[in-house]
Amino acid sequence: MEKRQTGKKMDKGVSLLLSVILVFCILGGVVFAVSRKISVEMSESAIQNLSESLDLIKATIEAILNKEAEYQKLMAQEIARSANPEEYIYSYDKNKTMVKISLIREGETEGVSSTGEAFTEQGLEFSSDALVNELEVSQSYMNYMGTWSYTIKCPVTKDGQNIASLYVEYTYDSLDQSLPGGFYNKKAMLYIMDAETERFVLKPKGMGERDAGHLNLTDFYRANAIEEEGLREEVTECLQNGKNLMFHHDIRGTNSLNYMWAVNGGTIYLIGYVPVEAIQQEGKTVNQNILVVVAVMLIAFFLCCLIYYFNQRQQNRIRKEQEIEREIHNRQLAEALQAAQIANNSKTMFLSNMSHDIRTPMNAVIGFTTLLAKDAENPDKVREYTKKIMASGQHLLSLINDILDVSKIESGKVVLNVEEFTLNDLVSSVDAIIRPMAKSRQQKFHVEVTGITHEHLMGDETRINQVLINLLSNAVKYTPEGGNIWFRIIGQKQRSLQYEHIRIEVEDDGYGMTPEYLKTIFDAFTRAENSTTNKVQGTGLGMAITKNIIELMGGTIDVSSEIDKGSLFRVELECRIPEGQADRRFWEENSISCILAVGGHKETCENIQALMQNVGVEVHTAYSIQEALELTENNSETSEGYQIVLMDWDTLDMDGVKAVKRMRETMSDTVPVLLLASYDVEDVEAVLRLENTGLLFKPFFVSAFKEKIVEMQAGIGKDSTEEAEEGRSLEGMYFLAAEDNEINAEILREILSIESADCEIVENGQLAVECFADSEEGKFDAILMDVQMPVMNGYDATRAIRKLQRKDAAKIPIIAMTANAFAEDEKEALAAGMNVHLAKPIDVEMLKQVIRQYVQRKE
Amino acid sequence: MESKRKNNRFQLAAACMSGIMVLALAACGNIEEPGKNLITEEEATSKIVNLYSPMEKTIAGIDNAARSAADQTILMAEEKLGVRVDYITYTAENYQDKTYDDVALDRARNDMDDIYLLNPDTIRILGEEGKLMDLSGLESAKNLRDVVKTANIIDGKLVAIPQEVVAYGLFINKDMFDQYHLELPETPEEFLECCRVFQENGIETPVGANRWWLETFVLAQAYADLYNGGNTEAEIAALNNGETRYSDYMRPGFEFLQEMIDCGYIDAKKAYISEAIEGEGADFMAQKTPIVMAYWGAANTDTAYGKPDFEMVVIGFPTHRGQMPVMPMTGFAVGVNAEHAQDAMDTLNVLVSDEALQVYTEINRVISPSKNVEVECIPALKPLNDKIKENVYVLGSNASMNVEQWGNTCLIVRELLNGATVDECMAEFDRLQEEALKSE
């Protein structure tokens, strides 16, 4: 079909081309015909023109000859009347025309001449054919003056008798004066030729310029390359018959009209040529103008074609662009439709999943609540049921949190809370959460930190934490029991001095993912579905949240996975390095300039070196105890020795206690020895009992290292955690709680009563303000404030309380307890004057910790 | 990119529009006003000088370099003086016709023209007749070489001034001489030997000749001693007073020519009726004839013997004193009764000025009559030029001799060609000398 169309197009093009060629041929033909016609007419006109000019010259010469003859007749009459004709001859004074007169009496052969010499007819050749006004005229000859002449013979008659002959010699030069000073703009060439002798006897002045062919007819032929025999014969015939002849012949490459024009019946001839262009000047101009017009028309035509062509091309381009645009648009529409369909499907599926997932724990809650009501008297069952209800509730909560997160991220409401954090804290908190999870599944959790040059960084720690926990908890979830999980933080080459470029890798040797699933892993509302993963609970939103958060931070995440081999998530992040973070002062103040790292892998040592270099502390490394001992000895000799020894517990080549003791042999007991060990380290207590030893968890961080040193210097004991536990008790405290929901209020009251604390509950903000205002100073330890309440909301109530003119109005801790769980809500709460923000549902432990923290502060 | 293309398109369209506008405006121009005199009078040149010369006026630079050189000097005069020089010319159709010199004599005697380009014999005749103006007063005459002045002074008057010192020599096809292992001839005997060798090798007529220039052989042999023997003035005086005879000088040259004719080295009959170069030139250029005689200028490019297909050298004529150039003096003369005498004198003053001669000499590569003008000659002419520089030459004409040499010798050589004996020719010289002595 397409082929046929192309063929049609080509046929159309060829026929168009043929039409154009045809039009051009017709145009060319017409122009040629017109031009040719003009040329022919011009040529005829030129011949006519030249003929007339030559006729004019001929008539002039003939007139002169006739006048000469007539005058000669008068002279003859005068001589006839004269008594002494010889005297008449002698007395003649020559002029420019008649240069000599002579007389021969009848019957004599010799006569007299005006020059004084005897005169005979010798040398003069008269022919009966050559007559001027009936008088005989001689052939031309070179006269005594060195100029071409002719002689006219006139009988002198007296009383009807010839008594003598009068000979008058005329020069051709005299004709020159009567001829035009040139014709056809002096481009015409003209000679006067004696027909009998074929000698050129006069070239009138101004009749062209030339350098040859001025001698005779043969010379003329030679000079002008007139070699055609036929033509020459024709010329000869014309000369014999006294006819005129005009023919075209090139003279030195120029087309010329040559002429032989008979004068006086052919006794003399006008011979010469005129370049045709000299006669047809206007013809040439006309032809040139025709050509110009044709050229202009052609140019105009081509211009039109060109404009048409460009226009067409433009149109085609626009059309094509429009088509492409339309195609793109259609494709986009199709894609959008497909995406919408997929999204719709996803959402449908999600809703169905969620419906299932929500119903499942809800079913548990309701079911167990029913059972609880039934078995209320059996404390063991009650405990068991409440534990299960609690677990189902927690699961429901995480589900809701995820949904909220996704909707927030998608609507662009997420605001990053960029603050300074340390990688140490990050890793510690992640480790603290993941390690127990992994442990519970008998999985090995490996934490590796390498190549980091700055551990204090700027970023939203909470969000990074969220991402890491998400990835790691997934790894734990999707890795069978006894598997491995690697968590690596790798420092990359910095792209800018202000930014630390880190790569976070989470790897497992778990189930892995199919390539198809990998394509949609970061899409919301999707989740891997197979028989294995179905065993694992999840919202299907975690990865979407993770990706969105990372992109929000300007980072990237990619994943590679193979079924049954495991998965590797790789996150690239660039975190700004806070200014002046290198805390050299601490190390200088504590006179720590050189430490020794013993054992461990090369990367670990290099990492320690890199980190410590930033704070100006030199790190020497020894991969065995022996090597460490040698270094210690050498170092103590040359300098002040090592201020701290770091020992990698996991790679020690001998028993820990032994190793520390050996080290102690070469250095002072005051030098602290810190054991660098994993979180799951065991059997370390014996070593820690040795003096001046401590435990530092891997991976190595300067901040942790510093804290440990401070801790060891201060001699803080191992009981601090227990004290903290004690500090969190709410016993004997009294709170003001603003809560409009009765159930929530009841729950709160119950929780507090469990903790041996009590509270006064009001239904709205207004009542809370009034209640606080009426109370005695110090009556309440803190105010627990709901936000969304009738009459007056929590924010306004807080502001009102803070404005009260009482001593404790500004100081009393106000804790927001609300279902508004977003960061903006927290911000608003703090802005309103609240001290802290707790999201509902209330985590009792969290509540206790927060209350304890602020109330202590109050104390 | 797009906008640039668009700009180009606009520029093209603008150019076309302007072109059409120009054409339209041109068409609108030149509208004739009714009643306006449409004839524009040509400015008439009032000063006219008639020049009698053997050639027509040419458009400079077309065909003939020799003429265009002269024409350029004429043009120079026309521009400087505002005159128009009209050429009057005559060429004999055949040997029976009056010669150029005959006509020159007639025209000068009848005061037909203003300036005449004359051969040495006519200068001599017309000078003696007092028909020529004394040119010694011209500014340009002061620059002339002495030899030029000597050759053209008659009765104390400088009657003619040339534009070039014409030197005649033998034009030799060196390739043909080399082919037959021949040295370039120095003496008449060597020359004859060369001719013999050529003839033996199938070149029947080794010397190409015409009716005009064979006298150069005679004059060279006749006056080689006179002009180069250190006693020139005394010898001329002896000739002028009849103590010595011209025929005695001339005889060896005529006998030499006679031998050449007898041996068939020259085709006498053909030479008798041949015009200069026309008769022998074609054969020489076609390498059928190894030797011709001609004037200096003929060797130059774009002239008769320019651009040959063989190595050509120009040498002097053989004499017992070695190779001898022959230098006749042609020249411009002004008629004593010229109609436009003053304009003619002024024109001649320009024609022979150093400026004009420089132009002439550079174009024609000839020897200039002015002592201030000198140009390099072409390699072929070097042997001849060397001789002239060494002051080894024979004057083809000498106004101080009472018998005109160039023309008379030419005519008598023609007699020889026509069958006269050497003795008859010598008798003619004796007759001329006697006539001269009588007239004195």
**From CA A262, how far away is CA A196, in angstroms rounded?**
12
CATH superfamily of A419-576: Histidine kinase-like ATPase, C-terminal domain (3.30.565.10)
Rounded alpha-carbon distances, angstroms, from residue A351 to A31, A354, A363:
86, 5, 17
The three-class DSSP label of residue B60 is coil
Q: Is residue B87 part of a domain?
A: yes
Architecture of the domain delimited by A726-858: 3-Layer(aba) Sandwich (3.40)
Contact A146 B13 (CB under 8 A): no
Residue A639: CB atoms within 10 A of its CB come to: 11
Contact criterion met (CB below 8 Å) for A50 and A274: yes
Please give chain B's pLDDT, 440 residues, in tens. Answer: 455 555 676 676 677 677 767 766 665 555 556 777 766 655 555 788 999 987 766 654 445 555 567 888 988 999 899 888 888 888 777 666 787 888 899 999 999 999 999 887 788 889 888 999 999 999 999 988 877 887 788 888 899 999 888 889 999 999 999 999 999 999 999 999 999 999 999 998 999 998 888 999 999 999 999 988 888 889 988 999 999 999 999 999 999 999 999 999 999 998 988 878 888 888 999 999 999 999 887 887 667 788 889 999 999 999 999 999 998 877 899 999 999 999 999 999 999 999 999 988 888 777 888 888 888 888 888 888 888 878 888 988 887 788 888 888 988 999 999 999 999 999 999 999 998 888 76
Q: What pLDDT score was predicted for residue A533?
A: 40
Contact criterion met (CB below 8 Å) for A716 and A695: no
Contact B58 A211 (CB under 8 A): yes
Residue B6 touches chain A, beta carbons under 8 Å: no
Same domain, B285 and B419: yes
Same domain, B346 and B272: no
Same domain, B120 and B183: no
Same domain, B283 and B413: yes
- The larger pLDDT score, comparing residue A175 to residue B4, is at A175
Beta bridge partners of A783: A736, A814
Identity of the residue in A210, A216, A300 whose CB atom sits nearest the CB atom of B58:
A210
**From CA B408, how far away is CA B328, in angstroms rounded?**
13
Residue A225 touches chain B, beta carbons under 8 Å: no
pLDDT, tens digit, for every residue of A266-297?
Answer: 889 999 888 888 887 777 777 788 888 888 88
Residue type, A757: A
Q: Is residue B111 part of a domain?
A: yes
Same domain, B249 and B338: no
- Same fold? A419-576, A726-858: no
Q: Is residue B38 part of a domain?
A: no
Contact A142 B98 (CB under 8 A): yes
Distance of CA B108 to the CA centre of its chain: 20
Identity of the residue in A210, A212, A296 whose CB atom sits nearest the CB atom of B20:
A296
Q: Is residue B128 part of a domain?
A: yes
Q: What pLDDT score was predicted for residue A724?
A: 45
DSSP state of B248: H
Residue A142 touches chain B, beta carbons under 8 Å: yes
Q: What pLDDT score was predicted for residue B7?
A: 66
**From CA A593, how far away is CA A642, in angstroms rounded?**
8
Burial class (CB in 10 A: 0-12, 13-18, 19+), B277: buried
Q: Which residues of chain A lie closer than 8 angstroms to B20, CB-CB? A: 296
Q: Which CATH class is domain A584-718?
A: alpha beta
Contact A145 B16 (CB under 8 A): no
- The larger pLDDT score, comparing residue B176 to residue A640, is at B176
Furthest C-alpha separation in chain B: 105
Q: Which distant-in-sequence residues (6+ apart) come within 8 Å of A148 by Cβ?
A: A140, A141, A142, A171, A172, A173, A194, A199, A201, A202
Same domain, B205 and B121: no
Q: Which residues of chain B lie closer than 8 angstroms to A203, CB-CB? A: 56
Q: Is the pLDDT of residue A847 over 90?
A: no
Q: What pLDDT score was predicted for residue B255?
A: 94
Residue B75 touches chain A, beta carbons under 8 Å: no
**From CA B92, how far away is CA B107, in angstroms rounded?**
15
Note down the domain range covering B288: 168-328+399-439
Contact A146 B105 (CB under 8 A): yes
Q: What pLDDT score was predicted for residue A131?
A: 86
**From CA B381, how far away is CA B397, in angstroms rounded?**
22
pLDDT, tens digit, for every residue of A408-434?
Answer: 766 666 777 888 888 888 888 888 888
Contact A303 B12 (CB under 8 A): yes
Same domain, B350 and B320: no
Task: Name the residue of chain B whose CA is nearest to A205's CA.
Answer: B86
DSSP state of B330: -
Contact criterion met (CB below 8 Å) for A765 and A797: yes
Q: Which residues of chain A lie closer than 8 angstroms to B109, CB-CB? A: 145
Beta bridge partners of A572: A503, A556
- The larger pLDDT score, comparing residue B293 to residue A354, is at B293
Beta bridge partners of A202: A192
Mutation for testing the B interface, residue in A145, A189, A299 having most B CBs under 10 Å:
A145
Residue A56: CB atoms within 10 A of its CB come to: 13
**From CA A138, how far away is CA A768, in angstroms rounded?**
161
Burial class (CB in 10 A: 0-12, 13-18, 19+), B283: middle
Contact A146 B16 (CB under 8 A): no
Q: What pLDDT score was predicted for residue A568?
A: 92
Query: Into how many domains does chain B fold?
Result: 2
Contact B103 A215 (CB under 8 A): no
Give A144→chain B minimum CA distance, Å: 6
Residue A286 touches chain B, beta carbons under 8 Å: no
pTM: predicted TM-score of the whole model, two decimal places: 0.51
Q: Is residue B2 part of a domain?
A: no
Q: What pLDDT score was predicted for residue A362?
A: 79
Structure tokens at A365: 């809650």
Q: Calculate the CA dihedral of residues A144, A146, A147, A149 and round it to 10 degrees.
A: 30
Same domain, B176 and B109: no
Contact criterion met (CB below 8 Å) for B152 and B158: yes
Q: What pLDDT score was predicted for residue B5?
A: 59
**Residue A725 banded pLDDT, cuts 50, 70, 90:** very low
Contact A212 B86 (CB under 8 A): no
Residue type, B150: T
Q: What pLDDT score was predicted for residue A346?
A: 66
Residue B20 touches chain A, beta carbons under 8 Å: yes
Contact criterion met (CB below 8 Å) for A615 and A589: no
Q: What pLDDT score was predicted for residue B30?
A: 54
Chain B 177-216, residues with CB within 8 Å of chain A CB atoms: none
Same domain, B265 and B299: yes
Contact A146 B56 (CB under 8 A): no
Sign of the C-alpha dihedral, residues A852, A853, A855, A857?
A: positive
- Find the DSSP H helices in B33-187: 65-81, 100-109, 120-128, 146-152, 174-179
Q: What pLDDT score was predicted for residue A356?
A: 63
Contact A300 B103 (CB under 8 A): no
Q: What pLDDT score was predicted for residue B324?
A: 93
Contact B9 A310 (CB under 8 A): yes
Residue B54 touches chain A, beta carbons under 8 Å: no
Same domain, B135 and B79: yes
Same domain, B211 and B64: no
Q: Is residue B382 part of a domain?
A: no
Give A421→chain B minimum CA distance, Å: 53
Residue B58 touches chain A, beta carbons under 8 Å: yes
The domains of chain A are located at 40-279, 419-576, 584-718, 726-858
Contact A292 B105 (CB under 8 A): no
Identify the CATH number of the domain in which residue B213 sits: 3.40.190.10
Same domain, B306 and B334: no
pLDDT, tens digit, for every residue of A467-483?
Answer: 888 888 888 888 888 89
Task: Bin A294: left if φ > 0, else alpha if -120 < ψ < 50, else beta.
Answer: alpha
Contact A215 B86 (CB under 8 A): no
Share of chain A above pLDDT 90, in %: 12
Q: Is the pLDDT of residue A720 over 50?
A: no
Question: What integer best gives the mean pLDDT of chain A?
Answer: 81
Mutation for testing the A interface, residue in B42, B84, B90, B101 having most A CBs under 10 Å:
B90
Q: What pLDDT score was predicted for residue A530?
A: 42
**Residue A830 banded pLDDT, cuts 50, 70, 90:** confident
**Residue A821 banded pLDDT, cuts 50, 70, 90:** low
Residue type, A103: L
Strand order in the sheet with A758-762: A758-762, A734-738, A782-785, A814-818, A836-839
What does DSSP say about strands B168-173 and B153-154: parallel, antiparallel, or unpaired? Answer: unpaired
- The larger pLDDT score, comparing residue A530 to residue A821, is at A821
Q: What pLDDT score was predicted for residue B107?
A: 92
Give B104→chain A minimum CA distance, Å: 7
Q: Is residue B101 part of a domain?
A: yes
Burial class (CB in 10 A: 0-12, 13-18, 19+), A11: exposed
pLDDT, tens digit, for every residue of A331-342?
Answer: 888 888 887 887
Q: Which of A538, A546, A544, A483 has its CA nearest to residue A511?
A: A483
Q: What pLDDT score was predicted for residue A718?
A: 42
Contact criterion met (CB below 8 Å) for A167 and A99: no
Q: Which of B428, B423, B95, B404 has its CA nearest to residue B258?
A: B423
Rounded alpha-carbon distances, angstroms, from residue A36 to A48, A246, A276:
18, 21, 15
Q: What pLDDT score was predicted for residue B132?
A: 92
Q: Is residue B14 part of a domain?
A: no
Contact A216 B56 (CB under 8 A): no
- The larger pLDDT score, comparing residue A529 to residue A567, is at A567
